[in-house]
Chains A and B, each alone.
Chain A
Amino acid sequence: MLHERRVTRSVVGALALSAAMFVSAPRTATAQESADPIKLTLHDWTGQLITTEIMGEVLKKAGYSVEYVQADYLAQFAGLETGDLHVAMEMWETTGRDAMDASTATGKTEVFGPTGMQAKEEWWFPEYMKEKCPGLPNWEALKDEKCAEAFSTAETAPKGRYLGGPVTWGGFDDERVESLSLPFEVVHAGTDAALFAELESAYQRKAPIMLWIYAPHWAPAKYKGEWVAFPEYTKECYGDPKWGSNTDAAYDCGKPHGEIWKVGWVGVKDKWPGAYKAIKAFSLSNDEMGAMITEVDLNGKKVSEVVTEWMGKNEPRWSEWIKK
């Protein structure tokens, strides 16, 4: 093995010389911009892969060198702060705000503005549950004890069971149950994979379930169901106990819609000024994203196919982002 590797390397050396003469140099960006690759992070959910790859392909069209790096959603901040990584395309208000604030406070990362997509998240139930609890989606139906019992399991009966997101997502569901006096018990899933595993299981059996679902995601496209209609969120609802139906407690309303932010290393601005402008300009709508996620996760297309398709259809839009 060792011997063989040494041989290959010398071959490579020889070839590299000749290759340099024949292969046309890659298109380079304007003079003051760095030719180093811009590193975009990939996480483990489809929507984020699509967002990132669209951004990456657009940057490539503008002549930048792009590298995709697989990274954990929260652990990536360590890399963004040191400049090992450069851009994270989806940082959800709802799940990443704490980590994002902690990171931008160091002055080594900055927010590149919203992606245009809005994270919707709320209590969600499959459509077949309407039979057992006809008042839904109005939240007041959940106050009915019979209705709540329809959502119960052996461990929570007679209270209903609500499967919330991982503890780290926050969301104030324990407080919400309290202040709206819903006969429900909040159980936390450890990861969102576990969250959807439970939904899939219940849906297959047409069994009762009430859980935290967010969008853009494939789940609302795959499973028929609705979000519970809580009183609309306002800032005062979370901050001021007097607001809303319960005058003694806050959180007597639904969850806020959250922005999905773009974040990155603070040095991007100086190293690749054009790319910085393009990343800031990047914007997609929820509907576009929902449709693309469905294509990939439910219809089995590849992320790259879907991205190429989008690029073909939206050329005027993305060429605007990279206009000099």
Chain B
Amino acid sequence: MSAPAHASLTSPREGFSAFTPSAMAWLIALAAFVVLWQFGEPLAKWAFDYPKTWQIPAQRWIGDAMKWLLNDARFGLFTFTELTRFIAAIIDLPYRAVLSLLATGFLSGQGSSAVQILPPLSWIAVVGIVAMMGFYAGGRRLALLAGGCFLFLAMFGQWTSAMVTLASILVAVPIGVAGGLALGLAAYRWPRFEVALTPLLDLMQTIPVFAYLVPILFLFGFGPTAAIVATLIYAMPPMTRITILALRSVPSEVHDLGRMIGCTRRQMTWRVLVPSAKDSLMVGVNQVIMLSLNMVIIASMIGAGGLGFDVLAALRRLDIGAGLEAGLAIVALAVALDRLSQAFAAKAGTAARAERPAGIVARAPYTVGALALVAATFAIGLALPAVQTYPEVLQISTGTFFSRVVEWINVNFFDAFEALKNAVLLNILVPFKRLLAGLPWLGVVALLAFAGWRLGGLRLAALTGALSFLIAATGQWEKATVTVYLCGISVVIASLIGIPIAILVADRERLWRWVQAIIDTLQTLPSFVYLMPAVMLFRVGDFTAMIAVVAFAIAPAIRYTVLGLQKVDPRTIEAGRAMGCTPRQLLTKIRLKLALPEIMLGLNQTIMFALSMLVITALVGTRDLGQEVYIALTKADTGRGIVAGLAIAFIAIIADRLIAAGAARTRARLGLA
């Protein structure tokens, strides 16, 4: 690519005046597209509606392949299902142990004839241990925060459910981390493996879980184990990606050092590379925790129980307060686990003390303290039940308060909301939907391929063209346009709200902390909790769906923009100020421009988040790919679900690759690479 070609993309003034070849190419491509769109319909009907007879019967193929896998696939001695059932049994062991410890107590026997032989850890012991871990890793503040979060669970009567959820998280996270690390290491060592793995990771992250829920249930059995497996599929990819990235960025001096002192391959990996990549790896751990908590609602639908089930059940009886309490309990768990893991990561980064004091109490004060607490509360709990389980009379609840708040808003402000909704719907949503629905698939496929070619070369062109063609060829085009319309508008709105907020808070540390708390909540609070009040105020339909998507997708828009702005070298800003830039110029000419790669990454993540909300918005009656996946689930039609799920994944991959290519070029142009 020549330098002027870059310039034409981002600063049109230069581009148009010079009419570089690149700008010409874009103009011609767009003109051809418009001609086809406006005048093509009578000549080539097939370019608008993909003919049914040309369709690839992918649904049937995938459905049949699944059937074969479930019923007939064999590896000599045992069937595929037996293998997966075996894996499920292995995962079940630690899960049962943790569940017994935290929630059910140790039982002898099964079902209702089981007898408890040892109670679970008392609530005081759990709160105490968590607080101690906080104190160990981050001092008094963290101890108060982590202990407080768990106390919140007990006080609001969410204890047992929360412990059930915590048990599955405590099993899923180590498996996810270990698995992600292993895959990452393998990909680092064998580049070919990475080539094969990357598209798989994309699919794991973008195909909605509903699409493959039914086969998972057949393979792993109905219950918490299947839920853990589904959680792993969704939560492991970021760990793998971060592992690869972290190992790559280990400085070459460290490699040299390892080689010089004669490390074997294994020592090199475990004694040199992994420890020096530890900080980044902990970010991956953190992501696994967050994504696992995201899955709590869906996991509860397939037998994991816990807080997710409470949220669903409360909202089915429109008990908004109870739904919110259970939802906030998930947030509390997320906050406690997140802050603890971050603090442990920070602590692991600092050097350990060299000297070891004598005596077990001095050497391991926390372990001893925890054991003492467990033993003491167990003994006292035998006599005083309130120590074992949080007494019901001390529980608090918001009761009908939140229902009444929503009612008050509803009665007093519904008309204003209705007017706003109708204005947005009639002026923005509906016209945009019609516009997209009228576009010829052939033109869109060609245009996407062209964009791929200009931004990233022939390989990208082949990818974007082929994937978008497959969406049309499997008969998903119409629903895909609705998907793009809903997500597109939501992403634009999320960016329009998110980026200014980010600019506002980026250099105000205290305000940023508050905003961070809010976006953390939005990200972990199950969207079902605010979806039902939104339905009450805005009725079912696209507008409500859009609100839910925006609320979820705004988090990365804010987060990454702030990250980008904060990373701008202060010396550059200083230089700008010395040259007499106004604050406005500083922002638009220097800070935003330099933060552009991060903002682009944020945009990418906003799109991914928006797409992952599709299945939820299907619950308020949209007619997009998410609905298709949902219908397929209710009809137990695996092929149909996976085809629609793949179409969502394809949209995500196309957007991701185009944005990444664009960001890479911008970065190169700004000299940041």
Contacts and interface: CB of A to CB of B under 8 A. Distances in A.
B66 to A, nearest CB: 12
A45 B115 contact: no
Contacts of A15: 106, 117-118
A190 B540 contact: yes
Contacts of B111: 36-39, 65-67
A193 B367 contact: no
A56 B108 CA distance: 20
Output the residue of A82, A154, A190, A201 with the most chain B CB within 10 A: A190
A190 B540 CA distance: 8
Contacts of B627: 167, 190
Contact of A190 (B316, B533, B620): B620
Contact of B422 (A72, A154, A197): A154
Interface string B416-438: 00100010010000000000000
Nearest to A8: B101
A31 interface: no
Interface string A61-98: 00011110111101111110110110000000000001
A215 interface: no
Interface stretch (B302-310, B475-483, B515-523): B302-310
Contact of A84 (B222, B315, B537, B622): B222
Interface in A179-205: 187-194, 196-198, 200-201, 204-205
Nearest to B538: A201
10 contacts: A12-B106, A28-B113, A37-B112, A65-B110, A65-B111, A69-B222, A75-B302, A78-B214, A79-B303, A154-B422
B629 to A, nearest CB: 12
Interface in B277-311: 300-305, 309
Contacts of B358: none
B244 interface: no
B257 interface: no
A226 interface: no
A34 to B, nearest CB: 11
Contact of A72 (B301, B407, B410, B635): B301
B535 A197 contact: yes
Q: How large is the interface on B (under 10, 10 to 19, 20 to 34, 35 or more residues)?
A: 35 or more
A99 B636 contact: yes
A78 B117 contact: no
Given A38-B111, A74-B636, A44 B411 contact: no
B127 interface: no
Interface string B529-571: 0011101110111000000000000000000000000000000
B313 interface: yes
A246 interface: no
Output the residue of B305, B620, B634 with the most chain A CB within 10 A: B634
Given A12-B106, A79-B221, A204-B407, A166 B621 contact: yes
B496 interface: no
Interface in B206-252: 213-214, 217-218, 221-223
Interface of B: 97, 101, 106, 108-115, 117-118, 129, 213-214, 217-218, 221-223, 300-305, 309, 312-313, 315-318, 367, 370-371, 374, 407, 410-411, 414, 418, 422, 425, 528, 531-533, 535-537, 539-541, 617-622, 627, 630-631, 633-636
A82 B218 contact: yes
Contacts of B367: 3-4
Nearest to B315: A193
Output the residue of B115, B533, B536 with the most chain A CB within 10 A: B536
Interface in A1-55: 1, 3-5, 7-9, 11-12, 15-16, 19-20, 23, 26-28, 35-39, 44-46
B537 A70 contact: no
A168 B217 contact: no
B109 A198 contact: no
B604 to A, nearest CB: 28
A196 B411 CA distance: 16
A84 B304 CA distance: 14
Contact of A188 (B97, B110, B315, B621): B621
A152 interface: no
B635 A19 contact: no
B118 A11 contact: yes
A46 B622 CA distance: 27
B633 A75 contact: yes
A35 B112 CA distance: 11
Contacts of A98: 634-635
A80 to B, nearest CB: 8
B217 A79 contact: yes
Contacts of A70: 300-301, 303-305, 309
B536 A44 contact: no
A75 B214 contact: yes
Q: How large is the interface on A (under 10, 10 to 19, 20 to 34, 35 or more residues)?
A: 35 or more
Contact of A201 (B312, B410, B622): B410
A101 to B, nearest CB: 11
A99 B621 contact: no
Contacts of A84: 217, 221-223
A75 B630 CA distance: 11
Given A193-B315, A196-B318, A197-B318, 20 more contacts: A12-B106, A39-B111, A45-B313, A60-B112, A65-B114, A66-B111, A69-B223, A71-B302, A72-B301, A79-B303, A81-B218, A84-B221, A99-B634, A154-B418, A168-B634, A188-B621, A190-B620, A193-B316, A197-B532, A200-B536
A67 B110 contact: yes
B117 A205 contact: no
Nearest to A102: B636
A202 to B, nearest CB: 9
Contacts of A37: 110-113
B561 to A, nearest CB: 32
Contacts of A64: 112
Contacts of A67: 110-112
A46 B101 contact: no
Nearest to A219: B318
Contacts of B539: 153, 198, 201
A155 interface: yes
A205 B618 CA distance: 26
A82 B101 CA distance: 29
A98 B631 CA distance: 12
A75 B407 CA distance: 34
Output the residue of B97, B129, B303, B374 with the most chain A CB within 10 A: B303
A1 B633 CA distance: 40
A120 B126 CA distance: 48
A187 B106 contact: no
A307 interface: no
Interface string A211-225: 000000010000000
A103 interface: yes
A193 to B, nearest CB: 5
A292 interface: no
